[in-house]
Amino acid sequence: KILILDFGSQYTQLIARRIRELNVYCEIYPYNHYPAPDESVKGVILSGSPFSVRDKNAPRPDLSGIKGKLPLLGVCFGAQYLAQHFGGEVRACNKREYGRANLAYIDKESLLFNGISEHSQVWMSHGDTIEKLPVDCRIIASTADVKNAAFKIEDEITYGIQFHPEVYHSTEGKWLLRNFVVNICGCSQNWTPDSFVETTVKELREKLGTDRVILGLSGGVDSTVAAMLLHKAVGENLTCIFVDNGLLRKNEFKNVLENYKELGLNVVGAEAGDLFLDRLAGVKEPEKKRKIIGSTFIDVFDKEASKIKDARWLGQGTIYPDVIESLSVNGPSQTIKSHHNVGGLPDYMKLKLVEPLRLLFKDEVRRVGKSLGLADKFLQRHPFPGPGLAIRILGEITREKVTLLQEADHIFVSMLQEEGLYNQVWQAGVMLLPVQSVGVMGDERTYESVVALRAVESTDGMTADWCHLPYDFLARVSNRIINNVRGINRVVYDISSKPPATIEWE
């Protein structure tokens, strides 16, 4: 495998994704907290960073166990650190360099640039430049403006590159990364979804033996794939709990339970809608709603789980971005919304955690699901927030409002499906606004609610843009909602991106 040491760059995860796309396994660690490389580590990559190497408090990793011992590639900050720390000089550029550049020189003998075309486009993003390389370095690529765009330390397998091979705009960047991980480090390209399933199931069997495992299913991709892996490993010893919080989509509880039966999973359904809605009565504040839903979920889950005797493990569908976030150089980011509020269980349950997907990115979870034989209806489902419709009903929640929103949401989502648009949208839903407006139906004045349709494109939910759905489609959705859902007389479309808006309205 490859180790990636993270110095806090926004692109670190992209490096990992590119390498995994090459079917080579890699892991990300904070630069100041990484395990000593054992023989499974074939090479190390140093990421970029928001810091300048000249900053007083810039990261200064100890590379004594790595440099000169294993193949090493520094990217941007990583390259500047190698240059500066081992005898070269880095200074601020007169003009900062962001964006496209083309290579003007490459050393054809260099393994790293093997097969890369002469004027290959690369993506720069730096405010410092490497003025002078350490004495034992050789330049292996330059651009018109940046002489030391890439270098190799002679007598070592240590490389530095000023540009970012991991971003899409470095057109041959993936090839360069392939040169590094496959040709230079000697990794084999055998990390595939099938091999992941095989090794994970084997490891789970060893770890869990004949212990009983419980897992909270949400109907979403991650918990479903996690359940399937665990089921493959321990069979009947896995019990899944699916909680109906009364805030699911229309018919969701029934449909999801049926779908899971089809998969052969042992699922207990806990209908607790009344409890959730009673506790939420009169609550308007979004974070308070989340907290109530989180703690009620734990109460309900706990009650069901305690009926399962001798449970030793709690399975969870945690995925890699959450793991990286919690380990990250900058620490967990500021709480905008308290997601993942359904994570913890009371201490007294004494369950150990098992998280079979904790090393996968979302798209990899889907591919693993496919390799497990899961149908698209499971794998292509849009994400749906844990607190469900509660955070799509702005302000106070009532049973009537839930029903109203379920109807409108059902119309929007089924029309996306019917018209072949569902898979082009990353997430879609409807928001019920705490606003009444005047309308006219027939000869009568109406004074009813407004709903907002939300459909976004995204890859991970961190950033998102609104989908440019066809006008005539939006017109038909609006029409069908207003004509069929009593209590709604106006439909609007949300055209805000994230940031500065968020996907959900609360």
User: Is 213 marked as a binding-site residue?
Assistant: no
* CB nearer to ligand XMP: pick between 371 and 458: 458
Contact by Cβ (8 Å): 43, 70: yes
Residue 219 vs 461, nearer CB to ligand XMP: 461
Cα–Cα dist 22/6, whole Å: 20
Q: Which is nearer to ligand XMP, 291 or 476 (CB)?
A: 291
Please check whether residue 119 is in contact with residue 148, taking contact to mean a CB–CB distance below 8 angstroms: no
Using CB under 6 A, which of the segments 107-115, 260-268, 349-357, 385-393 binds ligand XMP? 385-393
State which residue, 318 or 478, has the beta carbon closest to ligand XMP: 318
Judged by DSSP in three states, 303 sits in helix
Taking CB atoms within 8 Å and a gap of at least 24, the contacts of 444-449 are: 446/489, 447/489, 448/487, 448/488, 448/489, 448/490, 449/404, 449/487, 449/488, 449/489, 449/490
Burial bucket for residue 263 (CB in 10 Å: 0-12, 13-18, 19+): middle
If one counts every other C-beta atom within 10 angstroms of the C-beta of residue 339, the result is: 15
Query: 432 with 394: CB under 8 angstroms?
Result: yes
93-to-128, 129, 138, 425 alpha-carbon distances in Å:
5, 6, 21, 42
Per DSSP (E only), the strands in 414-461 are 427-441, 444-457
Binder to ligand XMP among 15, 187, 461, 477 (CB under 6 A)? 461
Which residue among the candidates 76, 137, 185, 187 is catalytic per the annotation?
76
The CA distances from residue 322 to 33, 141, 153, 361, in Å, are: 17, 36, 36, 10
Q: Which of 30, 219, 356, 387 binds ligand XMP (CB under 6 A)?
A: 387
Query: What's the closest the beta carbon of residue 321 comes to ligand XMP, in angstroms?
Result: 11
| Binding of residue 179 to ligand XMP (CB under 6 A) | no
Alpha carbons 114 and 142: distance in angstroms, whole number:
15
Amino acid occupying residue 163? F
Distance CA 408, CA 431 (A): 9
* Per-residue interface string for the shown chain with ligand XMP, residues 393-432, x marking contact by CB under 6 A: ----------------------------------x-----
Output the smallest distance, CB 386 to ligand XMP, in A. Answer: 3
Least distance in Å: CB of 293 to ligand XMP? 8
Catalytic residue chosen out of the listed positions 164, 407, 410, 504: 164
Q: Would you say 88 or 286 has its CB closer to ligand XMP?
A: 286
Q: Is 221 within any annotated ligand binding site?
A: yes
Query: Residue holding tokens 């089809």?
Result: 262
Token couple for 471: 């006008």
- Crossing angle of helices 273-280 and 286-305, rounded to 10°: 150
Residue 219 annotated in ligand binding: yes
Residues 6+ apart with CB under 8 A from 492: 450, 451, 452, 453
382 is catalytic: no
Q: Is 364 a catalytic residue?
A: no
* Contact status: 134 vs ligand XMP (CB under 6 A): no
- Residue 275 has phi, psi (to 5 degrees) of -60, -45
166 is catalytic: yes
Contact status: 498 vs ligand XMP (CB under 6 A): yes
Task: Name which position in 372, 378, 385, 428 contacts ligand XMP (CB under 6 A).
Answer: 385
The interface mask with ligand XMP, positions 260-299, x = CB under 6 A, is ------------------------------x---------
Q: How is residue 466 written in tokens?
A: 């609104």
Q: How many residues bind ligand XMP (CB under 6 A)?
A: 15
With respect to ligand XMP, which residue has the nearer C-beta, 61 or 429? Answer: 429
Q: How far apart are CA 42 and CA 1, in angstroms?
A: 6
Nearer CB in complex with ligand XMP: 287/419 = 287
Summary count for the chain: helices (H), strands (E): 13, 18
d(CA 412, CA 280): 26
Query: Which entry of 26, 97, 166, 185 is annotated as an active-site residue?
Result: 166
Residue closer to ligand XMP (CB basis): 148 or 341: 341
Judged by CB under 6 A, the chain residues 70 through 89 that form the site for ligand XMP are: none
Is 223 labelled as part of a ligand binding site?
yes
Binding mask 345-374 for ligand XMP (x = CB under 6 A): ------------------------------
Check whether 224 is labelled as a binding-site residue: yes
Q: Is 420 annotated as a binding residue?
A: no
CA distance 233 to 207: 10
Region of 154-162, 207-215, 296-304, 498-506 interacting with ligand XMP (CB under 6 A): 498-506
Q: Which of 337, 362, 370, 381 binds ligand XMP (CB under 6 A)?
A: 337
Binding residues for ATP: 218-224
Residues that bind ligand XMP (CB under 6 A): 290, 337, 339, 341, 383, 385-387, 391, 427, 461, 498, 502-504
Active site residues: 76, 164, 166
